[in-house]
Amino acid sequence: MSGLIDTFREATLLQCSFLEKLLDLDMADVAAFSDSMTEFLQPSTENKFVYGIAAGRSALALYSFLQLIQNHFENVFPFTLEDPVQRHYRKGKNLGIAISGSGETLAVNKYIDDIITRGGDIKLITANENGTAYKMVSEYEKGSVLVIKARTKHATDKDMRSRLSPLGTEFELEVLAFLNALFADIQSRLKGVCEQSCPQYVSTIKDFEENAHLIAEMDPGQLEHWLGRLLPRSGRYIIGGVGRSGLVARAFEMRFTHLNKISYWERDFNTPSFQIGDVYIPITGIGNTYEALEGTISALSKGSEVMPITANRSSRLVALLRKQGKTDDIAFVPVKPEYAEVFSGDTSSTTWLMSDFTKFRYPIFEINSSVFTNSVVAVGAEFLGIVEAGMRRMHV
């Protein structure tokens, strides 16, 4: 297993380099994207609608951004692929944001076409300038495209990235970090600070990268124990989380499917009850989330293992596992010292409704847990002897 720790570190450092790449984007393009979003989000008495057009893990990266919009703007309503454009379209009050690494996802392109047909504004983030989505949006008068060069699930090259960041992990992580950093820049512009150099965007990306580098320095002994308990099992993987952590959890669960494991997202309708042999993996930065605590109690009562991913060493979740003598089964994702106080304490809520603190909290844990879980997947693929081509066959 010790060799797999090297794989974990290599994968983590590679992802740090993906975050650093976001500083190489043309800041004029970033500023233009931010300006147009700022214009749309300006305070207004009228309701506005944002359509998040994406599928798979790219969609989860986009939905994190939509949650930020919903949390901060009372009269801006986000919709997803589950809500047909036709149902909510209001002329002049709509914005479509499409994410497609390859530009060839049929459902995404269909919804892009729906918005174009109705004359709405559409923005696309893609990695493929030769893709269908790029052609559709770039040729449309109300469309704009931002290209983030990254390896996608359709890549056929067999360089190191196919082993350490398979199936579009690079693009998905970059989109997640880009949109979160962009939101910081949008907030700055709404306050009247409209610099073309996008200083808020740049400082946020640098902060994400500095935090992510800490993951490569995690205690190898603890990490080896955690990975050794997680990967060599035949039972089911049930992965949970709410809010933005829930989006990370869903992305992580998808990868277990690609690793040919039986996995469920905790809140799916078809998720079975816990049983002996299962492992429950709640992802929760603060470690006091009601659902994570209830899920842990339920899993332990049924004889299942619990292996949380958290940043809070003083949470109720940690206290529960300490009583069971299982603190070594917890993966503590590190954050910079200035954020330590955010992830401390044992205050718990009794509802899944988010507090104002949770709504507006800086998303440092979500970025770090994405990097951490992506690195775990790279280790899992190596441990199980699964190459990217095999994972691609399991991909929807």
CATH number of the domain where residue 340 is located: 3.40.50.10490
Please give the single-letter amino acid code of residue 340. A
The answer to whether residues 221 and 355 belong to one domain is: yes
Distance CA 325, CA 351 (A): 28
Q: How far apart are CA 130 and CA 326, in angstroms?
A: 51
Please compute the mean of the pLDDT values over residues 12-39 and round it to a whole number. Answer: 95
Structure tokens at 369: 């847990």
Residue 295's identity, in one-letter code, is G
Q: How confident is the model at residue 161 (pLDDT cuts 50, 70, 90)?
A: low
- Stretch 217-245: mean pLDDT, rounded? 93
Residues 337 and 228 in one domain: yes
Claim to verify: residue 292 and residue 196 sit in the same structural domain: no
Rounded to whole angstroms, the Cα distance separating 271 from 237 reads: 10
| Residues 198 and 171 sit within 8 Å (Cβ to Cβ) | no
- Per the structure, the complete domain to which residue 375 belongs is given by 215-394
Q: Is 190 left (phi over 0), alpha (psi -120 to 50) or beta?
A: alpha
199, 214, 229 - which closes a domain = 214
The C-alpha atoms of residue 304 and residue 235 are separated, in whole angstroms, by: 9
Q: What is the percent of the chain where pLDDT is above 70?
A: 86
At 356, is the pLDDT very low, low, confident or very high (cuts 50, 70, 90)?
A: very low
Please indicate, yes or no, whether residues 228 and 371 belong to a single structural domain of this protein.
yes
Q: How far apart are CA 278 and CA 140, in angstroms?
A: 50
Give the number of domains in the chain. 2
3-state secondary structure of 351: coil
**Is the domain of 75 the same as that of 167?**
yes
163 and 232 housed in the same domain: no
Regarding whether 251 and 342 lie in a shared domain, the answer is yes
Confidence of residue 87 (pLDDT cuts 50, 70, 90): low
Taken in order 63, 68, 70, 73, the sign of the CA dihedral is: negative
Contacts of 285 (CB under 8 A, 6+ apart): 245, 310, 311, 312, 333, 343, 365, 366, 369
The domain boundary residue, chosen from 214, 241, 258: 214
Mean pLDDT of 73-96: 75
pLDDT of residue 353: 46
Confidence of residue 166 (pLDDT cuts 50, 70, 90): low
Could you tell me which of 374, 41, 372, 365 has the C-alpha nearest to residue 180? 365
Supply the pTM of this predicted model. 0.90
Are 287 and 183 members of one domain?
no
* pLDDT, tens digit, 9 for 90 and up, residues 28-73: 999 999 999 999 999 888 888 899 999 888 888 899 899 889 888 8
SS3 26: coil
| Residue 390 pLDDT > 90 | no
* Whether 333 contacts 310, CB under 8 Å: yes
Whether 360 shows a pLDDT value over 50: the answer reads no
Q: Where is the domain boundary, 171, 188, 214?
A: 214
Higher pLDDT pick, 17 / 1: 17
Q: What is the pLDDT at residue 219? A: 94
Of 41-50, 56-65, 173-182, 346-355, the one with minimum mean pLDDT is: 346-355
Residues 196 and 307 both lie in one domain: no
pLDDT band at residue 259, thresholds of 50, 70 and 90? confident
Question: Residues 193, 219: one domain?
Answer: no
Written as one letter, the residue type at 154 is H
Q: What is the CA radius of gyration of the chain?
A: 21
pLDDT at 126 over 50: yes
Give 127-194 as a DSSP string. Answer: S-TTSHHHHHHHTSTTEEEEE-----TT----SHHHHHS-TTHHHHHHHHHHHHHHHHHHHHHHTT--
Average pLDDT over all residues of the chain? 87
* Residue predicted with more confidence, 205 or 268: 205
Same domain membership, residue 262 and residue 193:
no
| Residues 169 and 33 reside in one and the same domain | yes
pLDDT band at 84 (very low <50, low <70, confident <90, very high): low
Contact assessment for residue 103 and residue 133, using Cβ atoms and an 8 Å cutoff: yes
| pLDDT score for 354 | 46
Residue 318 contacts by C-beta under 8 Å, 6 or more apart in sequence?
287, 308, 310, 312, 327, 330
